[in-house]
Amino acid sequence: MAEDDPRILVSTEWLGAHLKDPDLRILDATTFLPGTGRDARAEYEMTHIPGARFFDIDDISDHRSDLPHMAPTTEKFMSRLRAMGVGDGHQVVVYDTHGLFSAARVWWLFRLMGQGDIAVLDGGLPKWQEEGRPIEDMPPIVRDRHMTVRRQNHMVKDVTQVSAASKLGDHTILDARAAERFRGEAPEPREGLRAGHIPGAHNVPYTDLLNADGTMKGTEALRAVFDSAGADLTKPVITTCGSGITAAVINLALARIGHMDNALYDGSWAEWGAFPTVPVATGEA
């Protein structure tokens, strides 16, 4: 169960107690990997937590980039959230239908934009429904709300910065992909990408940070996962994954154990694996 922190992670009990708070805003941030045949928005429209808005990760992104769902400009983020009725003074809770998967990406994105009052719902919609808590299919009543955005550029890294960190060893690089992909033993789901990992990176599959029910492990168990992966948390951390979604689960876990000096490599393997001039390692870290 989450140790409730409205800036990191809250339990279904916490959300149930605060569901009718006037300044609470709930976001469904579900997204599905290509090829699943599932439509996140359609599923949201059929079933969501009362009052929830749908946060479309692919729409609220930088469409000038060929890479998937890169962080949007501050102007686009502000305009989209204002249209959703989310702004200054709101406590935001974000969830997804997996349990804990893409919700962490939106939590990180809000923090990138200088918004601190946001938490992930521990266990997401599955836990909420298993407990028999209310759901609805009605669209929320939306009123515009101004949002002040102050982009925190230190929270995101590009390929040049990650390449330098890999060479210098002055950051700990943590890769959230499954072990087989990290080692280069399994093909990448996106065509044209090399197999393997960033040299010097350590593998922390995001699923290792979760309990069987999709909730996040407790602080001591999280520290044990990082220790077993050989992650030196005395250094700043850069997280990475396939396309910048599950990397944010590591950022969330780091925040939960009090490690705030971390950033996310937004291009992740979708960029590194296609970039011809950067090296690729295979096998164990």
Query: Which is catalytic among the residues 149, 241, 252, 255?
Result: 241
**Closest listed residue to residue 45, CA positions, set 37, 53, 33:** 53
- Contact between 213 and 169 under an 8 Å Cβ cutoff? The reply is no
User: For residue 83, what is the enclosing H or E element?
Assistant: helix 74-83
How far apart are the C-alpha atoms of 149 and 138, rounded to whole Å? 29
| Spatial contact of 198 and 167, defined as CB atoms under 8 Å apart | no
Angstrom distance (rounded) from CA 243 to CA 246: 8
CA 110 centroid distance within chain: 10
Greatest extent of the chain over all pairs of C-alpha atoms, in Å: 53
Q: Does residue 241 carry a catalytic annotation?
A: yes
d(CA 98, CA 273): 26
Instruction: Give the catalytic positions in this structure.
Output: 241
